[in-house]
């Protein structure tokens, strides 16, 4: 099974999702992220989905789930790079990304993370 | 065909390679990177290969080729996250990554890019 790499940049973990997620890959990513957050004490998780042309309810739930897990482990999550067509589809399908913050690209995501870390530090 | 996302962080472009590269994906990545370097004026390219368990001569040539293209466009390239087993295989196979600089992880790669930008600015 392929595992999705998690890159550490300072106190942020960066994940780029490129492939269509299968159940096992998604579960492995959640586990890996939880472990890395705990190990590194990262306070931010950035998930880039610019490579995804389709975000269905499965991926939507996974993003919400990762965000929830990260929050419990005292890290904020920002999803970046959503393609316009994906945003349109999400709204059309009535899928909401519960508790997931978004930003246009990595740079704005970093800026957003910096700001929400200052405004609402989570436990550290 | 899937395209590999290119993330911009300041003056560095970050690419995470997760899937086994096919010829067309590799060519598309080279083109996309060249275009993005020209558009953004990026002076550094970081390629994370921590998701690859095998680097064969095709991938090796692709990394060298990207590095060469980037250099012509005035950007330095650093490959990060190579798994130990991959390094061993490369040496055993006698594959050299011509002109490709490497670092252990993204953070060290960023540090290396910063240093080589200062030491050997390329045309900007």
**Domain assignment present for A94:** yes
B chain contacts of residue A12, beta-carbon cutoff 8 Å: none
Interface of B with A in 34-53 (CB under 8 A): 48, 50-51
> pLDDT digit string (tens) for A12-63?
999 999 877 788 888 999 999 999 999 999 999 999 999 898 888 888 889 9
Domain-embedded: residue A102: yes
Enclosing domain of residue B16: 6-119
Residue A124 in domain:
no
The answer to the question of residue A1 being in a domain is: no
Residue B32 resides in a domain: yes
With CA atoms as reference, the chain B residue closest to A50 would be B5
The count of structural domains within chain B is 1
- Identify the CATH number of the domain in which residue B31 sits: 3.30.750.24
ipTM for the predicted complex comes to: 0.75
The answer to whether residue A100 is domain-embedded is: yes
User: What's this model's pTM, rounded to 2 decimal places?
Assistant: 0.84
What are the contacts of B18-27 at 24+ separation with CB within 8 A?
B18/A2, B18/A4, B18/A5, B18/A16, B18/A18, B18/A19, B18/B51, B18/B52, B19/A2, B19/A18, B19/A19, B19/B51, B20/B52, B20/B54, B21/B58, B21/B59, B21/B62, B23/B58, B25/B1, B26/B58, B26/B59, B26/B62
Q: What is the per-residue pLDDT across B77-105, written as a single tens digit (0 to 9) for each?
A: 999 999 999 998 888 888 878 778 999 99
**CA atoms within 13 A of residue B41's CA, in its CB half-sphere:** 3
Q: B119 in contact with A at a CB cutoff of 8 Å?
A: no
Contact A5 B50 (CB under 8 A): yes
Taking the mean position of all CA atoms in its chain, how far away is CA A88?
19
């Amino acid at each position: 099974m392929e595992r999705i790499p998690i890159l550490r940049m300072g106190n942020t973990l960066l994940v780029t999702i490129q492939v269509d997620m299968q159940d096992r890959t998604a579960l492995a990513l959640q586990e890996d992220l939880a472990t890395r957050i705990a190990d590194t004490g990262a306070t931010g998780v950035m998930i880039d989905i610019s490579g995804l042309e389709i975000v269905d309810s499965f991926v939507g739930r996974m993003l919400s789930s990762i965000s929830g897990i990260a929050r419990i482990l005292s890290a904020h999550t920002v999803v970046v790079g959503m393609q316009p067509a994906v945003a349109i589809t999400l709204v059309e399908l009535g899928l909401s990304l519960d508790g997931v913050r978004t930003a246009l690209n990595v740079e704005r995501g970093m800026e957003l993370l910096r700001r929400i870390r200052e405004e609402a530090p989570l436990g550290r």
